[in-house]
Copies of this chain bind each other. A is one copy, B any other.
């Protein structure tokens, strides 16, 4: 596995960390970036994160045999529409987006003949965003989901799987649909819940924040995530997310009813169930993977 030119769209935490990890492996002749902020791209070049940058998508695509989307998912369709006429035969397009589903089929449909799309979602990140927070170890021990379809080129699929494995990920394959159902529940819903929780306190009395302990802080840590990224995720995975928010409200209403009925047994049943599952989770396999606060 060797690439002539890796083109990275979006040199933020995810894109820059990918560049650093790939550079360390020495599997690309050059790594080039594209972004909105030219000054940042200059900084990334001077600091050895990327070898070069382009301010046009045609320039970036020129000669690239691997292109990776690392911008907010809401921009993917537009960017791929613009870049695809410039992609060379045999090139592989992949991404780091938190939403797959219909987006994967849309992007697949935008590929010129002989260019292959393979969706990927590395579950990695940290609290800080931007290229300055990037690290060649970000993807180390992370889970990476790849989401082939019936039309996915099998050679391209193998290349993308090898690529993520080689930078330290544990790679799993899911359909785009199953991916979105899973991450709606285990990631997208908790983000929405955290945003909503902070807004509750603001509505009641924002002076109450000063009494917050570690429980509140942990519960709402991911409310520090990027609104741009997470609004895109909500809109692109809207069917799963609306269904899961509804189930969450149902569960809250169950507890509310037990409280209104002074049903200690009812409350203990709900809490016991949750506690047992949460404790079991501590023993599960992927305890080292970090959630992706800035993962697009």
Binding site for B on A (CB under 8 A): 74, 123, 143, 145, 181-183, 185-187, 189-206, 208-228, 230-232, 234-235, 238, 241-242, 244-249, 251-256, 258-260, 262, 264, 267-268, 270-275, 277-282, 284-286, 289-293
Contact partner of A227 (CB less than 8 A), chosen from B185, B199, B226, B275, is B275
Q: Could you tell me the distance between the alpha carbons of A291 and B219 in the complex, rounded to whole angstroms? A: 11
Q: Could you tell me the distance between the alpha carbons of A131 and B291 in the complex, rounded to whole angstroms? A: 33
Chain B residues lying within 8 Å of A213, measured Cβ to Cβ, are 123, 143, 186-187, 286, 289-292
8 contacts between A and B (CB under 8 A): A74-B264, A181-B205, A186-B208, A187-B216, A193-B193, A195-B275, A219-B222, A242-B260
Distance from A80 Cβ to chain B, minimum over Cβ atoms (Å): 19
Contact B251 A252 (CB under 8 A): no
Q: Could you tell me the distance between the alpha carbons of A220 and B248 in the complex, rounded to whole angstroms? A: 13
Distance from A237 Cβ to chain B, minimum over Cβ atoms (Å): 9
Contact partner of A252 (CB less than 8 A), chosen from B219, B248, B284, B286, is B248
Q: Could you tell me the distance between the alpha carbons of A262 and B236 in the complex, rounded to whole angstroms? A: 9
Q: Could you tell me the distance between the alpha carbons of A244 and B230 in the complex, rounded to whole angstroms? A: 25
> CB-nearest residue of chain B relative to A184?
B204
Chain B residues lying within 8 Å of A234, measured Cβ to Cβ, are 255, 258-259, 267
> CB-nearest residue of chain B relative to A215?
B291
Chain B residues lying within 8 Å of A274, measured Cβ to Cβ, are 194-199, 202, 220, 223
Contact B214 A291 (CB under 8 A): yes
Q: Contacts A193-B193, A196-B248 known; A238 to B259 CB distance under 8 Å?
A: yes
Chain B residues lying within 8 Å of A194, measured Cβ to Cβ, are 219, 274, 278
Chain B residues lying within 8 Å of A227, measured Cβ to Cβ, are 267-268, 271-272, 275
Closest 7 CB pairs of A and B: A215-B291, A213-B291, A227-B271, A231-B267, A198-B274, A196-B251, A214-B291
Q: Could you tell me the distance between the alpha carbons of A271 and B186 in the complex, rounded to whole angstroms? A: 19
Contact partner of A278 (CB less than 8 A), chosen from B189, B224, B226, is B224
Q: Contacts A212-B281, A275-B225, A293-B215 known; A192 to B248 CB distance under 8 Å?
A: no
Chain B residues lying within 8 Å of A275, measured Cβ to Cβ, are 195, 198, 223-227
Chain B residues lying within 8 Å of A123, measured Cβ to Cβ, are 211, 213
